[in-house]
Amino acid sequence: MQAVILAAGEGTRMRPLTYTKPKVMLPVANKPILQHVIENLARAGVDEVVLVVGYREDTVREHFGDELEGVRIKYVRQTKQLGTAHALLSAKHLLDDRFMMLNGDAIVFEDDLKHLVREKSAIAVREVSNPQDFGVVDVENNSVKEIIEKPENPPSNLINAGIYVFTREIVNYLEKTPLSVRGEYEITDSITMAIADGFEFKAVRIEGWIDVGYPWDLLKANETLLSHVESKIEGEVEDGAVIKGNVVIGEGTVIMAGSYIVGPVVIGQNCRIGPNCYIRPYTAIGDNCHIGNAVEVKNSIIMSSTKVPHFNYIGDSVIGENCNFGAGTKIANLRLDEGEIAVNVKGRVVITGRKKFGAAIGDNVKTGINASINVGTLIGNNVFIGPGAVVDGVVEPNSKVY
Amino acid sequence: MQAVILAAGEGTRMRPLTYTKPKVMLPVANKPILQHVIENLARAGVDEVVLVVGYREDTVREHFGDELEGVRIKYVRQTKQLGTAHALLSAKHLLDDRFMMLNGDAIVFEDDLKHLVREKSAIAVREVSNPQDFGVVDVENNSVKEIIEKPENPPSNLINAGIYVFTREIVNYLEKTPLSVRGEYEITDSITMAIADGFEFKAVRIEGWIDVGYPWDLLKANETLLSHVESKIEGEVEDGAVIKGNVVIGEGTVIMAGSYIVGPVVIGQNCRIGPNCYIRPYTAIGDNCHIGNAVEVKNSIIMSSTKVPHFNYIGDSVIGENCNFGAGTKIANLRLDEGEIAVNVKGRVVITGRKKFGAAIGDNVKTGINASINVGTLIGNNVFIGPGAVVDGVVEPNSKVY
Amino acid sequence: MQAVILAAGEGTRMRPLTYTKPKVMLPVANKPILQHVIENLARAGVDEVVLVVGYREDTVREHFGDELEGVRIKYVRQTKQLGTAHALLSAKHLLDDRFMMLNGDAIVFEDDLKHLVREKSAIAVREVSNPQDFGVVDVENNSVKEIIEKPENPPSNLINAGIYVFTREIVNYLEKTPLSVRGEYEITDSITMAIADGFEFKAVRIEGWIDVGYPWDLLKANETLLSHVESKIEGEVEDGAVIKGNVVIGEGTVIMAGSYIVGPVVIGQNCRIGPNCYIRPYTAIGDNCHIGNAVEVKNSIIMSSTKVPHFNYIGDSVIGENCNFGAGTKIANLRLDEGEIAVNVKGRVVITGRKKFGAAIGDNVKTGINASINVGTLIGNNVFIGPGAVVDGVVEPNSKVY
């Protein structure tokens, strides 16, 4: 079966992490979100994927090429992001008679996908406690009657999961779909027209679901995925290193003596870890990283080629690729008053709902010795933070802070 | 035998440590000073203690309840602290025919107490080299002839240790004692009257004595008591941890791999220690503490529920309860010029007589990442010290330093 | 055979390291440069050395006394440094009939010295790619025809190595040598006169050569010498310490558990190392040093009696004697832009040619907790750097930075 995956948007709420790659390419448990999506599709029986790409599409094409786990991968460019119907229409020339459509930035699990794959025409629905904030699906006899956007009085607590099984006939409706109030061509409008014409969509419930909006949501997603990880040690573990719980260590990686790792933790290939570092649960470290002398990392995502070499503390944070931390640079992850952490996202204060969140840091950030990065800081890519500096709030890309 | 213990004063020279508890409740070798006093009395044969309490009496009552090591404990409230005679008079209704009276903030040892317990009526005396600074005791045929306050020409080098054995008849004199020049009802005045009436007080020499005035005196006291401690490991010590010398580790405490502990050290219950921390001699750590990754602690008192979690250095310091140190917060304990350390106590500069003294820190203090606390700093309770801040001198309670 | 070694100059380009000792006394691989010179001479058959001393001559005399490795050592004071001919003339009364003359601040190897020792009268030459920057030697039939200072068109790529074998007759020419253009009495002028008179000097090629100009050159020299070191453990290595590669550990030194040492590394006598420190290749640590808890040292020279006790990072740096680093003081050794490091030497910016260079720090420097020393900093002797301070550039001797 074929699946069309929408993967063209930046995901601006994920800035600064998306300055250099689209949201679907952000890693969770050491793989891009999109890779989790495709691998789960593969396990559910999908054998061809059409990726609708746009923003920073090079990063997607380079990572996946034309095949992953036996799944053929094709690409379609959506130059302007004019909505979900428009995105699917971009792939018109590649569509099979029946295909699945889903978003590349939300992870659905194998079992749920298997249920969908069987259907001829379907809409996945999820049960939530606050349906009024979503597109609510009115279901009758297992069929979708209507999708209503953010209704005041929701007819059910089932919402549209954004995962569909279509036959090729949907294309007719895509082409007729008018601009919506918010200025997009929306697939739900196309579906509404198809239902009006007598097409039937089965409502299929899905149970698992990992959705990410803000940088700190990656930590939650990482935590969820890592809690299912199983130990697999392909690198070298020196005598005197302690490994507890489920830990994955990639080929070519060396865990030096005195390192203390408590899983679930995944570490990529060709990393140098230690000596005497402390890696705590729910940490994902990419390839070619260096976690050095006495460093402590906890509940964090550290992307590939990043060096955290000496006396650093990284807690509840997401760190981009190719960063280098000066000796003693630390990230705070708890307010002194232990209050909930708020972060400035695109000029607006967003409550994270977390008591512990450190920083989200873009690619190629270099910090000096003894620099301090305060709770809830966002640092753009290519930033220099000088020795002894204290940073806070939002640091724009390419800036220097001394 | 009964003992009346004066435990009602704050001990303002011990601020900031006494903002939340009276001086007698400050811990040395992981027990309040008063507990050492009572335990030594118990070993000397005392079976009932009357605690004269006042300042923050709740902390005393909660800690001891009505029994300790087989000793019944009764409480008397001294609302205003009008002197030692007044304090004892507060306990009038509870007094036995014969009883001991002593201060709750000075530790006297079992052997000395055993000598006192045998007497009918006695005053403990200590030999010092500078008697002119104290109440000097003039002794004739083992009997006290007179107690003279700070005499220019001391008749002996024996001073009043403030420990007495009285018969109930002392009450008559307490009630007749006039206000002294410094505005208190003083037990020495009562005694003088009793002697004039023909009462006889045996002078009993005591040898051991641990007295504390300023916060740094707690370190000396701690050192003295810890030098007699014997190893007792009731918690878990992981492989790869090093334990040298006499070390006490309480139940439920885990010493993680790579920790290096050199006794004498006492660690309370349910602490998490390590990995890779370094705990050096003469350190006392309370219950429910966390001494974390790469932390170094030396010659210090850390009270219960305090977290010293990553990259902290604490040397020659006293840290209150429920504090939390940011990653990399350090306390300096040596002047750059290696000179003697002076501390501002209640607006007056006090020479500590020490080349090494770090800080005295009250309860509930939270510090940020990479904060620096300079030599000889006093920090009140409930203080926030921001990331990268450098503090010095006296920090008032409830303040925020950024 | 006798050798006269010029050891009278300060070596001002080596400041701040030479504020307290002459350049020849700067240690490389844990021995003064001059000691390497003398030991190599001893191995080549030299049995008497005349040291021409001047600047801080006491440090030379105290270190060597009157004998080293079977070589008699004599001293001559050159009060004013008026050139190489003048220096040699200072030793006139001690000269044998035949003797070698060389500089005390450049290390020549045993094999090369053996070739020279055999000659009656010789000048050592080295082949370089940029002869125009040196005194170029014009050689005919293995004999020196002329020495030309920085010629535009060098007659060869052989330069004068500053190592000579003379007969006593050279003295006549020394006495006749006029002041040169740059205001010195130069040995090359004396030689030119001798050649004019028919004296013959054999040109002897030397292969090895370790020359140092600036502080960072010591690191290169140290690296070269350490790469030939062989393991020799005379101190105590605790269980749980890791030693890899060639490591020398002196008598009385203790390597505590959790230390991780990767050779080539040399550590002197009576040092305390660890616990949990990380000492990386090409590090030389003198006697009576303390490298403490969690400290990391890499590619550095640390002179005797210096304490680097807790949470310090020292990379690509030269640290004087008797320094003490506050907990968490770190030296940066890489620019954030990873560019070549430039250093201000005597008011002039000098390009080091290195991407990694930390600091050169004189004797008796004390730093506070969490101080930061930036890339390419020079710190004079007797400096105090306060807690949390960030230093950069040049710090004058005896100053205080807060």
Q: CB–CB of B293 and A278 under 8 A?
A: yes
CA distance B312 to chain C (A): 9
Least confident of B276-285, B392-401, C206-215, C233-242: C206-215
Average pLDDT over residues A60-82: 95
Confidence of residue B182 (pLDDT cuts 50, 70, 90): confident
Judged against a pLDDT cut of 90, whether residue C270 lies above it is answered with: yes
Interface membership of B311 toward A (CB under 8 Å):
yes
Question: Is residue C307 located within the same domain as residue C352?
Answer: yes
Which SS3 state, helix, strand or coil, does residue A334 take? strand
**What is the amino acid identity at position B69?**
E
Domain with residue A244: its CATH number is: 2.160.10.10
Subunits in contact with chain C (3 or more CB pairs closer than 8 Å): A, B
Interface test with A, best of B369, B385, B400, B401 (most A CBs within 10 A): B369
Of B256, B294, B366, which is closest to A294 when you measure between CB atoms? B294
Question: Is residue C263 located within the same domain as residue C303?
Answer: yes
Residue A371 to residues A353, C144, C336, Cα–Cα distance (Å)? 26, 59, 12
Subunits in contact with chain B (3 or more CB pairs closer than 8 Å): A, C
Q: How many helices (H) and strands (E) are present in chain B, helices listed first? A: 7, 41
pLDDT at A338: 95
Question: Is residue A293 located within the same domain as residue A200?
Answer: no
Q: For residues A30 and B180, give the distance between their C-alpha atoms in angstroms, rounded to a whole number.
A: 78
Judged against a pLDDT cut of 90, whether residue B208 lies above it is answered with: no
**Final residue before a domain boundary, out of B178, B213, B248:** B213
Domain count, chain C: 2
Residue in chain A lying closest to C313 (CA): A327
Catalytic residue among B36, B86, B290, B310: B310
Question: Is residue A253 located within the same domain as residue A185?
Answer: no
Residue in chain C lying closest to B258 (CA): C258
A-chain CB neighbours of B242 within 8 Å are none
pLDDT digits (tens, 9 = 90+) for A248-297: 999 999 999 999 999 999 999 999 999 999 999 999 999 999 999 999 99
Question: Is residue B208 located within the same domain as residue B238?
Answer: no
Mean pLDDT of chain B: 96
Average pLDDT over residues B153-180: 95
C-chain CB neighbours of B336 within 8 Å are 366-368, 384-386
A-chain CB neighbours of B311 within 8 Å are 294, 296, 311, 313, 328, 330
Confidence of residue C356 (pLDDT cuts 50, 70, 90): very high
Q: Can the peptide bond before residue B154 be classed as cis, meaning omega within 30 degrees of 0? A: no
| β-pair type (C301-302, C318-319) | parallel
CA-based nearest residue to B364, from B402, B397, B388: B397
For residues B152-182, b (16+ Cβ closer than 10 Å) or e, as one string? Answer: eebebbbbbbbbbbbeeebbebbeebeeeee
Secondary structure, 3-state, chain C: CEEEEEECCCCHHHCCHHHCCCHHHCEECCEEHHHHHHHHHHHCCCCEEEEEECCCHHHHHHHHCCEECCEEEEEEECCCCCCHHHHHHHCHHHCCCEEEEEECCEECCHHHHHHHHCCCCEEEEEECCCHHHCEEEEEECCEEEEEEECCCCCCCCEEEEEEEEEECCHHHHHHHCCECCCCCECHHHHHHHHHHCCCCCEEEECCCCEECCCHHHHHHHHHHHHCCCCCEECCEECCCCEEECCEEECCCCEECCCCEEECCEEECCCCEECCCCEECCCEEECCCCEEEECCEEECCEECCCCEEEECCEEECCEECCCCECCCCCEECCECCCCCCCEEEECCEEEECCCCECCEEECCCCEECCCCEECCCEEECCCCEECCCCEECCEECCCCEEC
C-chain CB neighbours of A366 within 8 Å are 336-337
Interface membership of B257 toward C (CB under 8 Å):
no
Judged against a pLDDT cut of 90, whether residue A346 lies above it is answered with: no
Question: Is residue C46 located within the same domain as residue C187?
Answer: yes
pLDDT digits (tens, 9 = 90+) for C37-92: 999 999 999 999 999 999 999 999 999 999 999 999 999 999 888 999 999 999 99
Q: For residues A174 and A86, give the distance between their C-alpha atoms in angstroms, rounded to a whole number.
A: 7
Question: Is residue A201 located within the same domain as residue A153?
Answer: yes
Judged against a pLDDT cut of 90, whether residue C208 lies above it is answered with: no
Subunits in contact with chain A (3 or more CB pairs closer than 8 Å): B, C
Domain with residue A61: its CATH number is: 3.90.550.10
CA distance A157 to chain B (A): 44
Interface membership of B258 toward C (CB under 8 Å):
yes
pLDDT at A81: 87
CA distance A355 to chain B (A): 15
Of B275, B326, B369, which is closest to A260 when you measure between CB atoms? B275
Interface membership of B369 toward A (CB under 8 Å):
yes
Of C311, C324, C388, which is closest to B311 when you measure between CB atoms? C311
Respond yes or no: is residue B86 known to be catalytic: no
Interface membership of B256 toward A (CB under 8 Å):
yes
Confidence of residue C15 (pLDDT cuts 50, 70, 90): very high
Average pLDDT over residues C259-267: 98
- ipTM of this predicted complex? 0.94
**Final residue before a domain boundary, out of A212, A228, A256:** A212
CA distance A338 to chain B (A): 10
Question: Is residue A348 located within the same domain as residue A376?
Answer: yes
State the CB neighbour count (10 A cutoff) for residue C340: 12
Interface membership of C237 toward B (CB under 8 Å):
no
Question: Is residue C63 located within the same domain as residue C166?
Answer: yes
pLDDT at A391: 97
Judged against a pLDDT cut of 90, whether residue C396 lies above it is answered with: yes
CA distance B341 to chain A (A): 27
Judged against a pLDDT cut of 90, whether residue B79 lies above it is answered with: no
Question: Is residue C205 located within the same domain as residue C244?
Answer: no
Interface membership of A257 toward B (CB under 8 Å):
no
User: What's the number of CA atoms in the CB half-sphere (13 Å) around residue A154?
Assistant: 18
Q: For residues C380 and A159, give the distance between their C-alpha atoms in angstroms, rounded to a whole number.
A: 70
Question: Is residue B299 located within the same domain as residue B346?
Answer: yes
**Final residue before a domain boundary, out of C213, C240, C261:** C213
> Which residue's structure tokens are 């004396």?
C190
pLDDT digits (tens, 9 = 90+) for C309-323: 999 999 999 999 999
Of C260, C278, C336, which is closest to A366 when you measure between CB atoms? C336
Confidence of residue B219 (pLDDT cuts 50, 70, 90): very high
**What is the amino acid identity at position A264?**
P
Confidence of residue A182 (pLDDT cuts 50, 70, 90): confident
Q: Are B86 and B103 in contact (CB under 8 A)?
A: no
Average pLDDT over residues B81-110: 96
Q: For residues C292 and C259, give the distance between their C-alpha atoms in angstroms, rounded to a whole number.
A: 9
pLDDT digits (tens, 9 = 90+) for C91-142: 999 999 999 999 999 999 999 999 999 999 999 999 999 999 999 999 999 9
In degrees to the nearest 10, what's the CA dihedral of A346, A348, A351, A356?
50
Cα-to-chain-centroid distance, residue A260: 28
Of C294, C313, C388, which is closest to A369 when you measure between CB atoms? C313
Of C294, C367, C385, which is closest to B294 when you measure between CB atoms? C294
For C269, the domain range is 230-401
Interface test with B, best of A238, A239, A243, A260 (most B CBs within 10 A): A260
User: What's the number of CA atoms in the CB half-sphere (13 Å) around residue C322?
Assistant: 10
Question: Is residue A153 located within the same domain as residue A258?
Answer: no
C-chain CB neighbours of A368 within 8 Å are 332, 336, 372, 374
pLDDT digits (tens, 9 = 90+) for A205-226: 999 889 999 999 999 999 999 9
Average pLDDT over residues B47-69: 97
